[in-house]
Amino acid sequence: MKKIIIGDQIVKSFGAGDEQRNVLDEVSVEINEGEFVAVMGPSGSGKSTLLFALSGMDKVDGGKVVFDGGELSATSENELSDIRRTKMGFVFQQPTMLKNLNILDNIILPSMRDNRKNVEKISEKARALMKRVGIEELEKRDMTHVSGGQLQRAGICRSLMNSPKIIFGDEPTGALNSKSAEKIMDIFSEINADGTAVMLVTHDAKVAARTERIMFMRDGKIVSELKLSKFDGTDMDGRVEKVAAEMWEIGI
């Protein structure tokens, strides 16, 4: 299977002098096309920094990141911006939306740069995505009249507008109640089943248990991996138990 991301001996440091520390300490990781992976670890372990490095949002201080065959460190800022906009999707714990725009306009906004003459076509795609995730009736709503779960679904729609090769999610269910979180994970599972790779950073064992492979981080390193693809996908309790047992085993 083709690898969409290769991270080779990645180093990312913060601070200077005696206070400098490696948040990523020679981390190597590979993600295949269409794979569904999670990254877990305690606060400060480097999991979000790894997501930012692999997506080109942060420049690495050592090693290299290859995305879709091209090395990100050898790519200009403008080219990186284009790659992130056209080949990657991002879903964060708190979706960043413009309060003066309604839900539909927020969803289509990132796609307008390349398609200013095709507003109706873009809007049709956005409406189709909204229907897919169950928020089609919210098209004209503003940001103050939707729930956190509905806002997160709008963020997922926005991330899918340019048919990305991979979706990056940084604690995408962290601000949601358990019912909303489960629905969001259903959507991620459907997206992945359609062939889009998904990488989620999470602290929630139930969220991680929905993925195929989990990378566990501690002190800037990947210290363990758990492959869940061999376990029955319908036995969620058993999958959660496997994740929890691995977390206990490595002390996170």
List the chain pLDDT tens, one digit each, 252 residues. Answer: 799 999 999 999 987 777 778 899 999 999 999 999 999 999 899 999 999 999 999 999 999 999 999 999 889 999 999 999 999 999 998 888 888 899 999 999 888 776 666 888 899 999 999 999 999 999 999 888 899 899 999 999 999 999 999 999 999 998 888 888 999 999 999 999 999 999 999 999 999 999 999 999 999 999 999 998 777 767 888 899 999 999 998 888
Amino acid 55 reads S
Q: How many domains does the chain have?
A: 1
What CATH number has the domain bearing residue 50?
3.40.50.300
Which residues form the domain of 119?
3-250
Per-residue DSSP letter, 72: G
Total-model pTM: 0.92
Count CB-CB contacts under 10 A for residue 43.
7
Work out whether strand 36-40 and strand 88-92 pair parallel, antiparallel, or are unpaired.
Answer: unpaired
Q: Is 87 exposed, middle or buried (0-12, 13-18, 19+ CB in 10 A)?
A: middle
